[in-house]
Chains A and B, each alone.
Chain A
């Protein structure tokens, strides 16, 4: 083999190898191109997805944020930032969410992070009403949902979404206020009567006492003359004059009536004072916090202010447990509940006894049952028909004719008992026999801090 042949072969080999390499290169390039293309579309898809997620977060009118296990905010959407008074989510992200906008209780006292109810969101899904604080220090009532974020089966944080319910609470408050005003308006006429009646007889008695005093005065002056005259000169005609006057002014009648007129007047004034005091106690203006109240006493007050509503067609009896513990209540709202129940009972009875001259009966009793206080209001009215029993707590549901009530009474009663006090209210009614409403309120305040419906 000569050199040429070797070289030629080598060239051929190299040429082949090169071709192969080129072919490989081409193949690889193509593959590369292909995977690049795939990568590109994947990236685009990814970007698109992220954009969509971002849009989703940014467009949502619910506030959404997420925290990691340390409580640091990892995600925050503009709605959340905006509702909390921040200009952009960046001002929130990376910071401790609790410390930033959940730092205090309603009364302004410090809310330690380790007690934060939203912590529960790291373990399970929860829904509750929470008070947040805006950056300017103003509070915002929200309805919150929190749920754990899991990665490979491990909880890495929690996502919280919330809506501003201040407006809804405001509307609810206005509705309650309207119903309160309605029932106070209704009561006003009755209370006026409860005051006018004793005023009438106190006036009359005083008029009588005035006249009686004038008569006494006449008699006293005559006695005076009698005494001034010396023993010897006591004339028979003076004596006669006194006797005549005693008869004329009917002294016997006066002596009998005057003490009664005075004591009945005192009773009348007591009655007026009592109803005025009850009226003041009933309304509790400006009391928006739960305080410990004497349930029996509060019910008595409400009975006093509503007397004119029931006294013409019903007798009202009470059976109070005198050992009842004090119960944390919103006093004005609790009275409203009792008033609604009494007025309802009274209307139910009035419908049955109309013009018959018969009297129905309302019985109100209280008792303790473990951690609960139970109040029952029963009447001997016509009962609630079975087909509407399920609806009587619905707002605007009423069987009364138009103008005779807004249909808000029992709805608000329900909302006050259940939502505001964490209690229960049940109806037990039998047509033709009567109706019993049973209200149960928790004695311990802790039970009503959080409503947790899983």
Chain B
């Protein structure tokens, strides 16, 4: 089935331009182009959409309002902001509401690539319930100790960007979130940032502080909600950290470029993020996955597939795709290094 995409802008010329330049996508995408937030909402009542690409500032009903309203009725919808504004405050508000922030002017190629990638990861995940869950996720839980540590560091009068960056680097959840934000086009970097330290210093202390303290981009894991007694967040994160560290060292030993080194570390760090998402929201089922694997003597991923129709890897991949964290140019080397590291520490 074709993907349905809603494009919203307050300028007719922009809609015309998008329509023309996306002409070649017509065979795969059903696209609607509407002028202004009000018409967008009206259209969304009668039609389902897989994704919305909207301008941010519009007279009357603005892009944030459109996105929030659409999400209410279609939790699985993919929300992209396409805006010429780089107003810090507005982008902070859209963090956690929209999945990605694209800056105007953005090339047709970039727009098509991004949507295609997200769609394919979504289809790969399959399970509708999981699609909605992942699309609705604002934060990934961190270890309570790490979470409290970062709050303490941010509140301290003599905090340093480096210390804060180091804390975030030790936590996969925070790493993922901070990189999502920094790679959002609002910083206008035009390059992919995979290094947490660099991300924090690009954002600056003030923005990091308000993102964490007022927007709440980080959260802590609530152990009480976990029904799966065999699960330990700490263990998963420790494992991720070990794989990340080793993958990075392998990459360095192989004289890989800095980008590959950073990506290897990042990939190792995030490779189990799907488990955390499943444990946080489907703890009971995930407990049964373990039982299933044991009684049947099958690998975990197979048991996951039997339970959810998807593996934790697909869940993680979709989240990272939505958050623009998947490597846009997947490097075989990165995969090799992380794979090798993973083999050493596999569960």
Contact = CB atoms under 8 A, between A and B. Distances in A.
Contacts of A189: 85-87
B16 A196 contact: no
A192 B84 contact: yes
Given A196-B104, A196-B105, A208 B85 contact: no
A205 interface: yes
A200 B59 contact: no
Interface stretch (B17-25, B166-174, B321-329): B17-25
Contact of A208 (B20, B38, B57, B60): B20
Contact of B17 (A194, A208, A313): A208
Nearest to B85: A193
Interface in A161-209: 189, 192-205, 207-208
Nearest to A358: B60
Given A189-B85, A197-B11, A200-B104, A311 B17 contact: no
A359 B58 CA distance: 12
Nearest to B82: A200
B106 interface: yes
Nearest to B111: A204
Nearest to A311: B59
B61 interface: yes
A357 B41 CA distance: 14
B112 to A, nearest CB: 10
B14 interface: yes
B125 to A, nearest CB: 30
Contacts of A264: 13, 16-17
Contacts of B17: 200-205, 208, 261, 264
Contacts of B87: 189
A201 B13 contact: yes
Contact of A261 (B20, B24, B60, B103): B20
A267 interface: yes
A213 interface: no
B85 to A, nearest CB: 5
Nearest to A203: B105
B13 A359 contact: no
B108 interface: yes
Contacts of A260: 16
User: Which of B13, B18, B60, B82 gathers the greatest number of chain A CB atoms within 10 Å?
Assistant: B13
B107 interface: yes
A189 B85 CA distance: 7
Contacts of B59: 311-313, 357, 359
B13 A198 contact: yes
Interface residues of B, number: 28
Contacts of A197: 11, 14, 84, 104
A203 B103 CA distance: 13
B54 to A, nearest CB: 13
A328 interface: no
Given A196-B103, A201-B13, A203-B105, A211 B24 contact: yes
Interface in A258-293: 260-261, 264, 267-268
- For A204, A261, A311, A359, which residue has the most chain B Cβ atoms within 10 angstroms? A204
Interface in B19-62: 20-21, 23-24, 38, 57-61
A316 to B, nearest CB: 13
A257 interface: yes
A204 B102 CA distance: 15
Contact of A205 (B20, B85, B107): B20
A23 to B, nearest CB: 97
Given A192-B84, A196-B105, A208-B21, A312 B57 contact: yes
Most buried by A among B18, B23, B24: B23
B314 to A, nearest CB: 33
B341 to A, nearest CB: 41
Interface in B60-74: 60-61
A361 to B, nearest CB: 13
Given A196-B105, A198-B13, A204 B58 contact: no
Given A207-B107, A207-B108, A193 B21 contact: no
A211 B19 CA distance: 13
Interface in B95-116: 103-108
Contacts of A194: 84
B20 A257 contact: yes
A415 B170 CA distance: 56
Nearest to B37: A357
A286 to B, nearest CB: 29
B85 A211 contact: no
A204 B103 contact: no
Contacts of B18: 201, 204
A194 B13 CA distance: 13
B108 to A, nearest CB: 5
Interface of A: 189, 192-205, 207-208, 211, 253, 257, 260-261, 264, 267-268, 311-313, 357, 359
12 contacts: A194-B84, A196-B84, A199-B104, A201-B17, A201-B18, A203-B105, A203-B107, A203-B108, A207-B107, A208-B23, A261-B17, A357-B59
Given A205-B16, A211-B24, A359-B59, 9 more contacts: A194-B84, A197-B84, A200-B84, A201-B11, A203-B17, A205-B20, A208-B17, A208-B20, A268-B13
Interface of B: 11, 13-14, 16-18, 20-21, 23-24, 38, 57-61, 82-87, 103-108
